[in-house]
């Protein structure tokens, strides 16, 4: 029954997903923004996945068929990058490979909003953004949010997320103090993570890459895989913050913690609830 929520089962699922990523080391193609490439790649490597920052449209037909998942992030979008994003997304969808859309700063321009709407048409498995991004994409109306940072709490975006999930067919994830994940029917809250992670650039992009890696090992359960990835990344952040003196040492300890995470720590820290 859908309304029953077994918290122990979810915790165990998080660990199983993570173990699968480490064991199978999925190849994840990332067409991401220029700011985040380094941290996205290091996040995936630390989690045991195999990142490939291949973004040329000239390489998509040869390369994308070999990947296990794809992540597309529009954070520094220019018109010359869009064709490769579309080509890779279309190919991934055709071949039944899971892919993640991160509509970073979607409402910063009409060009970017239009591009994201076109990418949504190509059937992402998961759309992951902050509250403002999900609200903007869901309403498809061009607001002017503040750069890449969110001016909405994730919980304010629940209805928008559900509506976007239903219209797009994607699982929608909203990062925030509480991360929200919904398939339009179920709404799950992930309560891991720390506030200081927002003071490090590209943590959101890195999480999107990690979601793709988790989807790669469980493509038929995008909601569960997304919840697991968000919980694992949040736990690594919590452990990192215990050792950190500021955002730069948090960044280092976050990646180290992700690399070293063990079962006992994960099971004791996973905090997932059913919100709807």
The partner residues of 52 in beta bridges, in order of sequence, read 29
In this chain, which of 83, 144, 242, 268 binds a second copy, going by CB under 8 A? 144
Stretch that binds a second copy, among 33-41, 89-97, 119-127, 223-231 (CB under 8 A): 33-41
Interacting residues with a second copy between 89 and 118 (CB under 8 A): 105, 108-112
Interacting residues with a second copy between 11 and 30 (CB under 8 A): 27
Question: Do residues 46 and 255 lie in contact, with contact meaning Cβ atoms separated by under 8 Å?
Answer: yes
Q: Does 63 bind a second copy (CB under 8 A)?
A: yes
Question: Do residues 122 and 142 lie in contact, with contact meaning Cβ atoms separated by under 8 Å?
Answer: no
Q: Which two tokens stand for residue 12?
A: 């165990």
Stretch that binds a second copy, among 92-100, 116-124, 141-149, 223-231 (CB under 8 A): 141-149
In this chain, which of 21, 41, 126, 215 binds a second copy, going by CB under 8 A? 41
Where are any strands of DSSP class E within the chain? 27-31, 50-52, 69-73, 99-102, 126-130, 171-175, 179-182, 187-190, 272-274
In this chain, which of 148, 172, 225, 229 binds a second copy, going by CB under 8 A? 148
The nearest distance, CB 205 to a second copy, in angstroms, is 11
- Which contiguous run of DSSP H or E holds residue 132? helix 131-139
Question: How far is 176 from 198, CA to CA, in rounded Å?
Answer: 9
Provide the 8-state DSSP code for 6: -
Return the residue matching tokens 């089962």. Answer: 9
Q: Does 45 bind a second copy (CB under 8 A)?
A: yes
User: Contact residues for a second copy (CB under 8 A)?
Assistant: 27, 33-39, 41-42, 45-46, 50-56, 58-59, 61-63, 66-67, 75-80, 105, 108-112, 142, 144, 146-149, 198-202, 244-249, 251-260
């Amino acid at each position: 029954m859908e309304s029953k929520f077994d918290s122990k089962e979810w915790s165990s699922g998080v660990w199983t997903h993570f173990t699968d990523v480490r064991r199978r080391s999925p190849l994840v193609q990332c067409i991401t923004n220029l700011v985040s490439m380094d941290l996205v790649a290091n996040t995936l490597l630390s989690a045991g996945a195999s990142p490939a920052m291949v973004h040329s449209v000239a390489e998509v037909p040869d390369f994308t068929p070999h990947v296990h998942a794809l992540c597309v992030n529009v954070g520094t979008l220019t018109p010359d990058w869009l064709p490769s994003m579309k080509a890779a997304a279309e190919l991934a969808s055709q071949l039944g490979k899971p892919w993640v859309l991160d509509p970073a700063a979607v409402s910063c321009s009409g060009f970017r909003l239009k591009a994201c709407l076109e990418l949504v048409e190509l059937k992402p498995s998961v759309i992951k953004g902050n509250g403002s991004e999900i609200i903007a994409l869901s309403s498809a109306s061009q607001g002017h949010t503040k750069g890449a940072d969110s001016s909405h709490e994730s919980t304010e975006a629940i209805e928008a997320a559900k509506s976007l999930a239903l219209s797009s067919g994607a699982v929608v994830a909203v990062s925030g103090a509480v991360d929200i994940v919904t398939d339009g029917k179920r709404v799950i809250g992930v309560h891991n993570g720390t506030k200081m992670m927002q003071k490090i650039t590209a943590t959101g992009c890195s999480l999107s890459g990690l979601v793709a890696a988790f989807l790669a090992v469980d493509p038929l359960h995008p909601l569960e895989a997304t919840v697991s990835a968000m919980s694992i990344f949040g736990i690594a952040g919590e452990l990192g913050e215990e050792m950190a003196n500021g955002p730069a040492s948090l960044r280092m300890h976050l990646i180290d913690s992700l690399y070293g995470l063990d079962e006992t720590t994960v099971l004791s820290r996973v905090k997932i609830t059913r919100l709807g």
